[in-house]
Amino acid sequence: MAYYRSSYATEGSRVSRSGAQASGAAAAGGCLATIALLVAAALFGALFYVQQTQHIILTTPRQIVEVVAVVCVAAVVALLCAALASALNLYALTRSANARRVFALLYALVVLGVMLVFTLTTLAPRVLALAQLNSQVVPFAYAMRDDCQKPLERTSSDLSKTASDDQANVNNDQGFATMMSADANLLQQDAAALASSSQMLQGITAPEPKYQHLLSDCQATVSGLKSFLTDENGPHAIHIPAPYDSIFAPTMSGITLLKTVAAIAGGTSQVQAPASALQPVLAAAIPPILALVPVNLTSEGTQLQQDIRTTLDTSLAPFQERIPLE
């Protein structure tokens, strides 16, 4: 009899401990589910408020990072709390089932489901889009600006200045010599920048196939202008007409031609030739090389900027952004 009483007592103790554990799990699950609901409600309420008022405008990348971080932290907290609440309520239900615990489990599962749907269908795709934008598209855009747009604009401007100086000093040999020498120095600086940019562009990969045409145009144009300025026998070298081809060289680079005409007009050339010998060649050489810059290069760059703006607007909604794109 003593043995049976001991067994019953041990079994009763186990049941008692199991019931206490189930009650503790249910209580903890209820608390976590409530926290998850409150965090989710605060998150969705804040997003709804921003959408309705449109008072929050993001103007710096730092503000974007801060807003995305806050939303992600809130979503993760709500998701984890709901997941833990569901697990604890399920544990409590399996130990001691009753209607209250069934309701608590369903309550936690609903919050978990809502947060999962929000995270997987809305938050995660937007965060991934912003991450790709920041790690791939934006650096590519900076490269297109720094190694394509800027050197091409500067070189085109200096070539246009050279053509203008040429026309303005047709009847002034000394003035022509001075201006051509100065323009040659400017274009030498441009050629060095183009050489550096061309090397940088060769190591760049387009982040998406639709940007490959922009990259290819930049690579070809930068390389072509550099060749025109420095390559004496390249595809864009200037052909010298007879009889001066046998006196000077059959072909010249743009910078060599500038220095040559400057020396002739200034009287410092070792070869005797009329002051205006190669001026028409120079005047005829610049317009075609300026036309080397594709007319669609600007539109392709504008489309890249528009794609960045669209991604920001879509991924940050309902927040508005006014990030300057330069």
Which is higher by pLDDT, 272 or 57? 57
- Per-residue pLDDT at 6: 47
Q: Measured between alpha carbons, how far apart are the two ends of the chain, in Å?
A: 91
pLDDT tens digits along 137-167: 999 999 999 999 999 999 999 999 999 998 8
Least confident piece of the model among 27-36, 82-91, 291-300: 291-300
pLDDT at 16 over 70: no
Q: Give the model's confidence band at 4: pLDDT under 50 very low, under 70 low, under 90 confident, else very high.
A: very low
Q: Calculate helix-pair angle for 212-230, 150-168, nearest 10 degrees.
A: 40
Query: Around Cβ 118, how many Cβ atoms within 10 Å?
Result: 18
Which ranges of the chain does DSSP label H, i.e. alpha helix? 2-53, 61-95, 99-118, 124-132, 138-144, 150-168, 173-202, 212-230, 244-247, 254-266, 279-290, 296-316
Helix (H, G, I), strand (E, B) or coil at 207: coil
Does the global pTM surpass 0.85? no
Q: How many residues make up the chain in this entry?
A: 326
Q: Which residues of 127-160 are buried (b: 16+ CB within 10 A; e: fewer)?
A: bebbeebeeebbebbebbeebbbebbeebbebbe
Q: Region 310-318: what's the mean pLDDT?
A: 93
pLDDT band for position 326 (50/70/90)? low
Mean pLDDT of 109-117: 95
Element spanning 321, H or E: strand 320-321
CB atoms within 10 A of CB 317: 14
In the block, which residue shows the tokens 């070792």? 270
| CA–CA separation, 222 and 150 (whole Å) | 11
Per-chain mean pLDDT for the chain? 88
pLDDT digits (tens, 9 = 90+) for 67-78: 999 999 999 999
Rounded Cα–Cα distance for residues 247 and 194 (Å): 30
Q: For position 314, what pLDDT does the model report? A: 93
Query: Is residue 99 predicted with pLDDT exceeding 90?
Result: no
Residue 275 per-residue DSSP state: T
**Is the confidence at residue 44, as pLDDT, over 50?**
yes
**pLDDT value at residue 195:** 95
* Three-state secondary structure call for residue 260: helix
Q: Is the per-residue pLDDT at 170 higher than 60?
A: yes
The pLDDT assigned to 242 comes to: 87
Residue 12 has pLDDT above 70, yes or no: no
For residue 238, what are the β-bridge partners? 252
